[in-house]
Amino acid sequence: MTKSELINRLAERNQRLVARDADEAVKTILDAMGQALASGNRIEIRGFGSFALNYRPPRIGRNPKSGERVPVPAKHVPHFKAGKELRERVDGQTTPLPLPIADDDDGDD
């Protein structure tokens, strides 16, 4: 689901909510989540999951093209951990999710 699909679905479910207001609500929530993570805070949404930062120490990597050794600096990366309710909902799904069909344009139609 994309951000615009989320906004459209929110506007459809709440007839009192104009699409412009749904857009502003989604942007506000995502901005608040981004600011919370940027300032080192953890986000927990009951029934959905939690977002936190994981620390990755500095290391020596390799340039895949040249094979040259490259220093990779330390960094914090966002990490999502699904909540129990979300895991059970996804795991308890009785019908398998459809697999995307690759469109091969080889011209043999």
Q: What is the pLDDT of residues 67-94, one digit of tens each?
A: 999 999 999 999 999 999 999 999 886 5
Strand partners, 81: 50
Angle at 43 between CA 42 and CA 48, to 5 degrees: 140
For residue 31, the one-letter residue type is D
How does pLDDT run across 42-67, given as a tens digit for each residue?
999 999 999 999 999 999 999 999 99
> What span, in angstroms and rounded, lies between the C-alpha atoms of 108 and 99?
22
Whole-number pLDDT of residue 101: 65
> What span, in angstroms and rounded, lies between the C-alpha atoms of 103 and 109?
11
Whether the full predicted model's pTM is greater than 0.75, yes or no, is no
15-30 core/surface letters (b: 16 or more CB in 10 A; e: else): eebeeeebbeebeeee
For residue 63, give the 3-state DSSP assignment: coil
> What span, in angstroms and rounded, lies between the C-alpha atoms of 96 and 102?
18
